[in-house]
Amino acid sequence: MSDLYVTEENKKAIPLSEALFTVEITGMVRDEGYAAAARPFWESVTDSFRKTFIVENRWQLFLDGIGTTLLITVLSILFGTALGFSVFLLCRKGNPVANGVTHILIRLVTGLPTVVLLMVLYYVIFGGLTVSAAVVSVICFSLVFGSAVCAMVKGRVDTVGVGQTEAACSLGLTDRKAFFHVVLPQALPYILPQYREQISALVKATSVVGYVAVQDLTKMGDIIRSRTFEAFFPLLVVAAVYFLLAELLTWLACRLEIRMDPKRRSKEKIMKGVAASD
Amino acid sequence: MIELIHLEKKYDLAAPLKDVNTVISRGDIISVIGPSGTGKSTLLRCINLLEKPTGGQILLDGEEITAPKYNPTKARSRMGMVFQSFNLFNHLTVIENLIIPS
């Protein structure tokens, strides 16, 4: 808990009890003439490592943090993709007023710094409700990711010429079929690389959830740092894990990209579709 | 059989089709000839319902396809149309391009 000062202003905002005990604050100034006792380099490294990971089983804190970060990221990717794509589909033939409102909301989400949006959601919009900070984080990052998905799908679908839709329609495909069988498959190979970039950006963006007291990887690094006064190992591990997480998720998205490229379909798959349509 | 009755297509600044009347019977081979911008493509696009005519009627085998509640997909599935710019489906193979409506 951070310091709480009993002031006249604070008393008006929240009902405070009588002060039960007070804590003195002590300031410390470093002696300029002081030099740390020189220790062999290797000894200081092993000591730092021990304090960061072994003492009090602190490696478990890192594991918990990784789990939380991964959970928030993966859920936000899933919900965000579903949300962004649904919004795009609804807006495709939506009425201009509803589309305008949606557009403004998307601009709002993309126009705010993610950490500000997160705090607005946690303290203002869900402030009166008992919603866990992790859930609010997932909602926040789903909105952020969803906006990005919606914008990139729209941008790429628009670049597929209108002639393709017309040609598909003139062959007797319904509007929906023309979109899913002709327009979207041509836009996807261009959407997915952007999608991959967004995933990598999202992993990194989740590092701000500590602001609403979610104990993710960054926060765990902070906690350990504040206990051990050692910055080297906690930050090194946090940096390395974010990098690896981003790489892992990007690699998975890459696999998806290859699977969904219509030009990479196997001959058997194409002929199967041909035979099925006879 | 395709019948055009008083077909009209007007845009804000131009009216490429004014009172077009014709009957095209089964087996007819028709050429529509004219300088650029006189509405040849517009006529074909109207018959395929890619453009909505602003007046008149189009009958396909006696059925009015310009009626407000008519489903354009039904008429289009019985027509073949080759576009000026072809509009082949790049993501599909040749055979898929040939069979896609099915």
Q: Which of B73, B90, B96 sits opposite A270 (nearest CB)?
A: B96
Å between A96 CA and nearest CA of chain B: 21
3-state secondary structure of B91: coil
B82 touching A (Cβ < 8 Å): no
Output the pLDDT for position A208. 93
CB contact under 8 A, A186 and B89: yes
Closest CA to A262 of A184, A168, A172, A171: A184
Q: Quote the CA–CA distance of A165 and A179 in Å, as a whole number.
A: 7
Radius of gyration, CA atoms only, chain B: 15
> Which residues, other chains included, contact A208 with Cβ-Cβ below 8 Å and sequence gap of 6+?
A114, A115, A118, A218
Do the beta carbons of residue B69 and residue A241 sit within 8 Å?
no
A55 touching B (Cβ < 8 Å): no
Q: Quote the CA–CA distance of A117 and A109 in Å, as a whole number.
A: 7
CB contact under 8 A, B89 and A164: yes
Q: Quote the CA–CA distance of A220 and A62 in Å, as a whole number.
A: 6
Provide the residue ranges of all domains of chain B, joining segments of one domain with +: 2-99
Å between B91 CA and nearest CA of chain A: 6
* CB contacts, 8 Å: A262 with chain B: 91-92
CB contact under 8 A, B101 and A263: no
B91 touching A (Cβ < 8 Å): yes
CB contact under 8 A, A172 and B87: no
Output the pLDDT for position A1. 46
CATH topology of domain B2-99: Rossmann fold (3.40.50)
Tell me the pLDDT of chain B averaged across its residues: 90
Do the beta carbons of residue A130 and residue A67 sit within 8 Å?
no
In sign, the C-alpha dihedral spanning A189, A195, A197, A200 is negative
Say if residue B26's pLDDT is above 80. yes
Output the pLDDT for position B43. 93
pLDDT band at B102 (very low <50, low <70, confident <90, very high): low
Domains and CATH numbers, chain A: 71-261 (1.10.3720.10)
Q: What is the pLDDT along chain A (278 residues), one digit of tens a residue?
A: 456 777 888 888 888 888 788 788 888 888 877 766 677 888 888 888 888 888 888 899 999 999 999 999 999 999 999 999 999 999 988 889 989 999 999 999 999 999 999 999 999 999 888 889 999 999 999 999 999 999 999 999 999 988 999 999 988 899 899 999 999 999 998 999 999 999 999 999 999 999 998 999 999 999 989 888 888 889 999 999 999 999 999 999 988 888 888 778 888 888 877 777 65
Size of interface A-B (CB pairs under 8 A): 61
CB contact under 8 A, A161 and B50: no
Please name the residue that has the structure tokens 């926040």. A140
* CB contacts, 8 Å: B77 with chain A: 171-172
Q: Quote the CA–CA distance of B17 and B23 in Å, as a whole number.
A: 16
Residues within 8 A of A (CB atoms), B 35-74 only: 48, 50, 72-74
Say if residue B76's pLDDT is above 50. yes
Q: Looking at residues B44-49, what average pLDDT do you find?
A: 92
A164 touching B (Cβ < 8 Å): yes
CB contact under 8 A, B100 and A168: yes
Q: Which of A167, A270, A278 sits opposite B87 (nearest CB)?
A: A167
Output the pLDDT for position A199. 94
CB contact under 8 A, B87 and A274: no
Q: Looking at residues B48-69, what average pLDDT do you find?
A: 91
* CB contacts, 8 Å: A159 with chain B: none
